[in-house]
Every structure is written in C-alpha cells, then in structure tokens.
Amino acid sequence: MLLQVLEPGQSSFQSKEAVAVGIDLGTTHSVVAFVQGDEIFTVPVEGSPLVPSVVGWRDGAAVVGKGATPENGISSFKRFMNRPLEKLANGKTPVQLSAEVLKSLKHHAEKALGQTVQKAVITVPAYFDDTARQATRDAAALAGLSVLRLINEPTAAALSYGLDQASEGLYIIYDLGGGTFDVSLLKMSMGVFQVLATCGDIELGGDDIDEAIQHFWKETKDVVADQSTAREAKEFLSNNASWKGEFLGKKLGLTEAQLNDLIETFVQKTISICGRVLADVGAVIHDIQGVVLVGGSTRLKSVKRAVHAFFEKEPLVNLDPDQVVARGAALQAHALTQGSDTLLLDVASLSLGIETMGNLVEKIIPRNTPIPTTIAQEFTTYQDGQTAMKIHVVQGEREFVSECRSLAEFVLTDIPPMVAGAARIQVTFDVDADGVLTVSALEKITNTSQRITVKPSYGLSHADLERMIYEGFEKGAEDIEKRLLIEAGVEADQLLQSLKTTMEADPDLLEPGEETILKEGIKTLEFSLHQGDRQKIKGLIKDLSLKSQPFAERRIGRSIQKRLVGQPII
Amino acid sequence: MLKNLLKAGIVDIETIRPQATPFALLGLEPTFDIDPKKLEFHYFCLQRELHPDRFVGKTAHEVQSSQMMSSWVNIAYRKLKDPVLRAQSLIKIMGAAVPGEKDTPIQDAALLVQVMEWREELEGLQSPGDVDDFCLKFQDKLYELGEQFSANWKERDIKSMKQSYLQMIYVSKIMEDAKDQKQKY
C-alpha cells in the first residue's frame, strides 16, 4: 500500500460513497487520513499533514494549527481530557478545544475529498480512562462528527504495520507521543489483531522532555526559554551531535550527551512499563517478533537505543511514526464502513471496580480483559434492615477507593429490609468496543433495577490521577498490608457489633462471671483497633470468638427451641 | 467463517447464550485438555462474525445483540484459556458446587496448612531471583495439578476434581502473591 500525500487544491476524489476518515487527535499534532481505492491518503494542511493541536482566537473566531501560535493560543489540552469541564483558555474546556481541532480537520478533509465528511474513527491513548474517552466522543459530537469507533493509538499503529507486512506473531508497539506513553503487546494471526496486554502512562511524553530541557537551561544558563526552542534543540539532536541557538538574544546550547542525561529517567520509566506488559502476558523478550516505534518522541536516538537494547531487536521504523496512527485509523474507518477481512480485538486497559466495606475496591473487570465484555457480580448488605446501597464505580489499579479514579456514584434504593448478608445485589459492568463503561445494579429478590451510564465526575485533581497511575504498581506491597489491616478492622467490628447486640438481647443466657470476661475482651479488642497492629487485632478476634462461643451456642439452642414451639426467632 | 463452523456442526448459533457453558459457546467438547490452536481458531471465527465492528451502521437492536454475544464469547474464551477457570467450568458442568465460592466452605485442613507453609517460604525469600525460582517451581506444580485434574475429569471423579481444583486455586494465588512480592524489592 502506497502512502500518497495530496497536493493542496488537488481534488481528484469524486466518489459518491460517503467517506469515513481516520483521525489521530494528538497532544502536539493531529492528522486526518482516509482510504480511497487501495491507498491511504493523509490530508496536508498548510504544507504538512501534521496539524499542530493548537487553538487560538482571531477576532473572536477560533484558529487551529499553524495560524495559532502558542503565544496567542493554547496547546497540549489533550492532557486535560480527563477533566473535560475545566475551563482552560478563553473560558474553553478541553472538550471544546478538541472539538475546534476536529472541526478544522473535518473541514480540510472535506476540501480534499470534495464531499462532506460525517463519520470518523478517532484514536485515543490506550491508557485513557473512561472519562477521557467519553470526553473525546463529546468533542466529536460538538464538531459534527459521528464516531464509528474509538480505537487505541498503538492498536491503530499495529493495523497499518500489520497490513503492510502480513506479519504473524507477537509484536510490541512502543508509542511515545507528545503527552502520553503507551505500550501494547499484540498477537497478529489469521488477519486478527489481538491485543493481549496494554500499559502506559498518560503523563509522559515529548512535552515532559521539552520541559526538562527548559529547566536545564534555567539551571545552567539562567535563561527561561520557551517550549518551541527546547523542541527545536531536541528535534535537531535526533540527527546531530550538538545544537547551538539562542533565545531573545541569549546564546543556548545542548549536546546529545546532555540530552541523554536529561531524559534518562523518562526512558527508563518507559522500559520498565515494557517489562510489565511482558510479565502480564507471561511472555519473554525472545517471544517478540518485532517492535514498532510510534510517536514523534521515538525519533530520539536514546529512545531507539534503549528499546533496541531491551528487546534485543532493531525496532521497525519504516513508517513515519507521526502518521502511522492516523493511517491505521483510516484503515479501520474504511473497514467499518466497507467491510473487511481483518479484525481488531482490544482490551480494557484499566481495571474497573466498585467500592466495598472499608474504602476497599472490589475489582470487577481486571485490566487486559478483552472488550466488549459484560461481567456481573453479587454483593450483599452490611447491616440488618439496610434498605439502600451506594454503588461507587472506580477505575484504577490501586486497592483503595481514595487512590482510584472515581467514575460515578449512585444509590440503589427500596431494597427490602432483611438481615445483613441476605440481600443479593447484582452489579453488572458492560464495557463496549470503544472501552466505555455502563453500570447497572439489580436487587435480585425484588428485581429493583437501576441502570446508569457512567458519566464523568470531576472530584479528582490532576495530581491525584497522576498518583493513581504511577503508584498502582510501585506501592502494591504497601497497599496489601493496609488492606489486610482494614479487613481485620471490619472483621473486628462485625464481631463486636453482634456480640454487644446479642448480650443485650439475651442477658439471661450469660453464666455468672461470663459477662465480665466478655466485656473485658470487648474492651481490649476495641482498644487494639486504635493501635493499628494487624496481628494483634487478629489474635484478639480469635480470642474473643473462642470466649463467646459457649454463649453463642446457648443462643442457637434457644432459637431452635423457639422455632420448635412455633415462635418467631428474634 | 462462522458459516463454516455452523455448517460443520461445530457451533450452533442457539448456544450463544449467557447461560451456555464456555465449551458450548466456543464449539468445543468439554475437556481439560483443550487444543489451544483450536480454541483460538473458533474464538476468532466467532468474533469475526459477532464483534460490534461488524455491525457499524446497523440497527440499534443488532448492534446491542452483537455487543452482548461478542461479550459472552470473550468471557467464555477467557474461562477456557485460563487452566484454573477451565477446571472451574468443568466442575460446574458436573452440576457440583465450586469449592471456595460462597456457601461452600473449604474443608481441606491439610491443604490450608500447606498453603501457610508456602506463604512462609515466600515471605522468607530475599531477592527477585529467589521469587522467580519460586514462581517456576509453582508453575510446574500448576501444570502437574492440571494433569491430575484432567485424569480426575476423565473418571468423572467429582470429589478428586474438587480437590485438585482447590490446590490449583491456591497455587495460582501464591503465584500472584509472589508477583506482588517482587514489587517490594
């Protein structure tokens, strides 16, 4: 398949069929492409298919791309798509700004095609959460585009590579873009592109490298240079050993060795994420057939070297890393509208769960589950006579609700009053092929049903989200200890609660002296809860259970007796 | 290709239901020793026909059906691919309660003692290399248990199936714990 760039003004496409386009809505650049006949075309705008994802304003009207300089406009707003309603510049939200870029791309595609464009496949980072995916759909709607499918950027890249090379086997897609890093492990066989695992960091990309360079100049030369100067130096060093330039008359320089030092930590972070993806699948480096580099930041020599060294393989770079995602999106748009022999099977990249007792997360859909998927799980009430239950949906890898992304909360009401543990509440998670979630809950005894589509909630700050993603893996061990402590606390509470209630209900069943012993045990256990020593709490629970066992047996005896004489059990 | 599977009598479209066994959904004989290539081939054939990507622009009803059926096939595939879940599916096919699930307490005291010992062994490991060796050992154990379960299944010996399955559960849990432990170093 040939890659042809269309000359401005050339419009040889007069097909009557509606064309669906593929759009790579990037952090720094966006690209629109489409398939005509057997070829993929990227649409050039002002001489290049790479349209800067920058929105500015002239006389009140939005200007997208080169006409909007970073000085009069706003860039990198994709990084805020997980907070879609926040006002950034000119009172605009990330959704509105993304919509401006999409509108502009739509317009240029229409000019190139000579017909209106209404349908698109839009790519998103594999590690985008539910909120950011919904926000991308909203932005498309604002731009007058109907989204055929959201596809993950690395998957789109694999599609363009796979079709060109008719490859079979396991492939790594290493995608380091302007703002995000994704790595996916795919199996290609029989025309099926099956994503086995994906991992990433939505806060790691070329922007961070530019920032590191700016910081370096500030520290060493006391010059506060702008991002485009840093970017210029960085890009120059992809093919040269040293860069010299200036900013506002002040001389600046950067060598390859200096740049390598500056980005060492970033690169190592991406490599350790690659290791995680292999571990998720249980694959080893020698199982990997090929490594594909995607995203402009993979032009950096040290990135290429690190990837090469880790996978012990020369990475594939025969397609332009800036355009390969849009090309894949165009192929998928064509496949979805015209039919195709190939098939993409993707996975949910982040675990989904709900809040349970003690601020803990019960995972319902673990990450790397193939989508679409629908999984139901049963939960029960915690207290006697409980008639309502809060369902709090979260996304992330951590064990605690406070450390995951809160997606939605709703209350299931009208649960018939029953003893604790008797109600059967079925919570169903549906993740569609776009990776977007719908949650519903059903109380199975009375069929009380409530269905919600998870809509973004904005309680989480940027820093919180960052922490959620970085720390999910690093702090796993600490989490487990904390979790065990909370579980021990819940267990202790249940025992204390039930013992106190029953002692009040049947005081006559207590033997002489027994009450004192049990009250002593209750006091000691209650006190230990404040000390936070899990082993001690566990020991005291066991101790108190043993001590209260004879009393419990007597109570059971009494209730059986009552039942025998036809009296209600209390 | 689904048409081929249908024609060959391998898959019956009527079996694509949420309550069907994962084996029936994927057109395979219920057995522990599945052929992974065949599983994958059937899975791909079904998804080629059922995946929502094949229903873009169709009616809402068709889109929704495709999403549901594709989901069930995905779940069945996951259950068959994983040896522990596969063993669980076979126990369910026998109409028996799955040990460890609610209302089915675990009554194998010897196993619980053994698990405690494994846990102690894991906690005593000093380096990531030790953990890797530990994992390899348990990988082998899981494989052996799979062979044992397979023999139990062939005899339809539900009691032994449950025992082998319980051991598989604990072995896979300890392997997960080992992975977590590796993050500590």
Question: Residue A168 in contact with residue A189, Cβ under 8 Å?
Answer: yes
Contact A474 B183 (CB under 8 A): yes
For an interface test with B, give the residue of A373, A377, A444 to mutate (most B CBs within 10 A).
A373
Specify if B96 maps to a domain: no
Q: What is the pLDDT of residue A5?
A: 41
CB A399 within 8 A of CB A482: yes
Backbone angles phi, psi at A315, to 5 degrees: -65, 150
Q: Does the residue B117 lie in any domain? A: yes
Place of tokens 């369910």: B92
Domain boundaries, chain A: 2-347, 352-462, 477-564
pLDDT of residue A567: 34
Task: Check which CATH number belongs to the domain holding B24 and give it.
Answer: 1.10.287.110
pLDDT at A209 over 50: yes
Measured CA to CA in angstroms, residue A21 lies from A24, A60, A310, A482, B99 at distances of: 10, 29, 36, 49, 52
- CATH class of domain segment(s) A352-462: mainly beta
CATH number, span A477-564: 1.20.1270.10
- The order of strands in the sheet holding A61-64 is A61-64, A54-58, A73-75
Of the ranges A65-69, A225-229, A468-472, A557-561, which one carries the lowest mean pLDDT score?
A468-472
Query: Residue A487 in 3-state DSSP?
Result: helix
Which tokens go with A85? 């309603």
- Tell me how close the Cα of A269 comes to any Cα of chain B, in angstroms: 15
Average pLDDT (B7-11) is 62
- Do B72 and B124 fall within a single domain? no
Find the distance separating the first CA and the last CA of chain B, reported in whole Å.
49
Residue A247 parent element (H or E): strand A242-247
Q: Is residue B43 part of a domain?
A: yes
B72 to A374: CB separation less than 8 angstroms, yes or no: yes
Say which CATH superfamily domain A2-347 falls into. ATPase, nucleotide binding domain (3.30.420.40)
Are A306 and A176 in contact by the 8 Å Cβ rule? The answer is no
3-state DSSP call for residue A311? helix
Active site residue A542: no
SS3 for A213-241 is: HHHHHHHHHCCCCCHHHHHHHHHHCCCCC
Write the pLDDT tens digit of every residue in A367-389.
999 999 999 888 888 888 888 87
Are the C-beta atoms of A148 and B56 separated by less than 8 Å?
A: yes
- Round the average pLDDT of chain A to a whole number and report it: 83
Tokens of A508: 């006559």
A279 touches chain B (CB under 8 A): yes
What single DSSP character describes residue B14? G
Q: Is residue B158 part of a domain?
A: yes
Q: Is B113 contained in some domain?
A: yes
Question: Binning pLDDT at 50, 70 and 90, where does residue A474 land?
Answer: very low
The total of other beta-carbon atoms located within 10 Å of residue A10's CB is 9
User: Helix, strand or coil for residue A119?
Assistant: strand
CB contact under 8 A, B184 and A433: no
**What is the distance of C-alpha A117 from the center of its chain?**
29
Rg (CA), chain A: 29
Task: Identify each DSSP E strand in A90-137 by its residue range.
Answer: 119-124
Domain count for chain B:
2
Q: How far is B56 from chain A (nearest CA, A)?
A: 6
DSSP summary character for residue A507 = G
In degrees to the nearest 10, what's the CA dihedral of A82, A56, A139, A203? Answer: -20
Contact assessment for residue A393 and residue A454, using Cβ atoms and an 8 Å cutoff: yes
- What pLDDT was estimated at residue A8? 40
Domain co-membership, B59 together with B125:
no
- How many angstroms separate the CA of residue A424 from the nearest CA in chain B? 12
ipTM confidence score:
0.86
Q: How many residues does chain A have?
A: 570
Best residue in A168, A374, A429, A431 for a mutation probing chain B (most B CBs within 10 Å):
A374
Tell whether B6 and B77 lie within a shared domain: yes
Query: Could you tell me the residue range of the domain that residue B166 belongs to?
Result: 109-184
Per DSSP bridges, beta strands A250-255 and A288-294 are unpaired
Provide the pLDDT confidence category of residue B131 given band limits of 50, 70 and 90: confident
**Whether B183 and A476 lie within 8 Å, measured CB to CB:** yes
Q: Which residues of B touch A373 (CB under 8 A)?
A: 71, 74-75
Q: Determine the Cα–Cα distance for residues B138 and B59; give it in Å rounded to an integer.
A: 50
pLDDT in tens, A418-464: 888 888 888 888 899 999 888 877 777 776 665 554 444 433 333 43
The whole-angstrom distance between B73's CA and the closest CA on chain A is: 9
Residue A112 has pLDDT above 70, yes or no: yes
Indicate if B117 and B47 belong to the same structural domain.
no
Average of per-residue pLDDT across A18-32: 94
Contacts of B72 in chain A (CB under 8 A): 374
Integer Cα distance of B65 and A346 in angstroms? 19
CB pairs under 8 A between A and B: 63
Matching CATH topology for A2-347 and A352-462? no
> DSSP characters for A149-178?
EEEEHHHHHHHHHHHHHT--EEEEEEEE-S
**Is B91 inside a domain boundary?**
no
List chain A residues with CB under 8 Å of B183: 473-474, 476-477
Residues near A53 by beta carbon (within 8 Å), at least 6 away in sequence:
A25, A26, A27, A28, A29, A30, A75, A76, A77, A78, A101, A178
Give the CATH number of the domain where residue B174 resides. 1.20.1280.20
The active-site residue out of A24, A130, A403, A430 is A24
Cβ–Cβ of B71/A430 closer than 8 Å?
yes
pLDDT at B150 over 80: yes
Task: Determine if the peptide bond prior to B52 is cis (ω within 30°).
Answer: no
* Same-domain status, B8 and B74: yes
Residue A187 has pLDDT above 60, yes or no: yes
Q: What pLDDT score was predicted for residue A462?
A: 37
Instruction: Provide, for chain B, the percentages of residues in helix, strand and coil under a 3-state DSSP scheme, each rounded to the nearest 5.
Output: 70, 0, 30
Q: How far apart are CA A365 and CA A353, in angstroms?
A: 7
A343 vs B: CB within 8 A: yes
